[in-house]
Structure 1
């Protein structure tokens, strides 16, 4: 049997990039996957088609996580299509996009994460897992400064992580574990591209500091491992460049 046979997973923000790769990897391990998108339905449909072509099960669901209706739609899709929910991967994040409201980063990176988890807790049985994805630049923002263009997003993601950790006692009471995966700047992501545009040379500078940067596929593989890793609730898994932030 594959490691995730019989498990249903929701991966937020999974129509492209890291989330899409995580969804495919979880499906390869036997999970039925709810692929979440906000606006890019064709991209999400392509992810689902790829999973199904490989023999897996998936469904695409359009949902804005900053609304209660969005969280509810994802959970309902997991229950209706696959009978439940045993794995929640909180990958969706943002705040650097143009044209968003001033407090959008906090709404998505903190409030939406907590609301999504609270809603999911109602249907997740004992033994379920939640994986929250963040960056070293956000995880260590209180001790290591980051680029000015990313600071507001970094602080909102750290606020999201802190708020999720405050739920650890409730999660423990339900038998649900929370794992945080923190990664360095990832080559090929939208965030890295926007940062390099705002601060020319940012990617190359970070690559030199870290020795190398992980690709989207490499980082996604590390996230997928945490779906079943034997680690305690509250564990933080550091992926790439960790030493720079702790020296």
Structure 2
């Protein structure tokens, strides 16, 4: 693989082929980042994200990796370093959701969810903690559902509560490294996955909850990620709830 001579800041975005991750890829590319778009299985979506990043003004490549597989994650970081010379920003946007009342949830689904959301965040953060350069940032994804306490979301909210805990502790473990660690905790955000299966009445009810009276957009979340990745150097060890004031 050829090594780029680019001096741009370099970002790895897990789950970067769709949803909020895809928007983060485009937003960072517009800031001039070289972006490594991580994806699990859909190469066509990942390739589309790469093309969008390049169109936005950045460099980009797509790299497949299971975020819960520590060997694959190490190889992902290896590729970023070989291609672009190092890693400055890591955005953990990969995740999955399993919804059911606690009493009814299939524990195999719980295991799969925890593997991606908790082990995946841990494995990626482990490599990030070892490799992110000075002046860099690690940005995890928690969820406002840790506060909303909505029935049916116990497994998902528990996994995101774990992400919040990992974030706060890692920020303190990286004392002296000049690397910030924060988590973004979105509320309802209008991705294709979120909108699927919801009728207009449900969406209207959710839009009415925040004082800003709308559902969030992937662009709203990507803007916050870009701030934490770049100018927001004095924000560290925080979970930022991005939900329009719903809580």
TM superposition score normalised by structure 2: 0.85
Shift of the alpha carbon at 1:161? 1.6
- Whether the 8 Å CA contact 2:142–2:239 is kept in 1: the answer is no
Corresponding residue for 2:179? 176
Q: Which runs of 5+ in 1 are unaligned?
A: none
Corresponding residue for 2:136? 128
In structure 2, C-alpha distance between the alignment counterparts of 1:217 and 1:50, rounded to whole Å: 14
Alignment of 1:108-127 (within 5 A): 108-127=116-135
In structure 2, C-alpha distance between the alignment counterparts of 1:134 and 1:204, rounded to whole Å: 24
In structure 1, C-alpha distance between the alignment counterparts of 2:237 and 2:144, rounded to whole Å: 16
Corresponding residue for 1:205? 205
Change (3 A) 1:54 1:114: same
SS in 2 for 1:182: strand
SS in 1 for 2:176: helix
Shift of the alpha carbon at 1:207? 1.2
- Map Cα deviations across residues 122-160 of structure 1 (whole Å, 9 max, x no partner): 22122111111222113x2xxx42131x22111111112
Alignment of 1:1-247 (within 5 A): 6-96=8-98, 101-138=109-146, 140=147, 144-148=148-152, 150-193=153-196, 196=198, 201-210=201-210, 211-228=213-230, 229-242=232-245, 244-245=246-247
SS in 2 for 1:6: coil
SS in 2 for 1:167: helix
Matched residue pairs, number? Answer: 232
- Whether the 8 Å CA contact 2:172–2:237 is kept in 1: the answer is no
Shift of the alpha carbon at 1:41? 0.4
- Map Cα deviations across residues 190-229 of structure 1 (whole Å, 9 max, x no partner): 14536x38xx954332212222111222322222222112
SS in 1 for 2:78: helix
In structure 1, C-alpha distance between the alignment counterparts of 2:123 and 2:77, rounded to whole Å: 12
- Whether the 8 Å CA contact 1:95–1:104 is kept in 2: the answer is no
The Cα RMSD (Å) is 2.3
SS in 2 for 1:75: helix
Change (3 A) 1:191 1:96: farther
TM superposition score normalised by structure 1: 0.85
Q: Which runs of 5+ in 2 are unaligned?
A: 1-6, 100-105
Shift of the alpha carbon at 1:73? 2.2
Shift of the alpha carbon at 1:9? 0.2
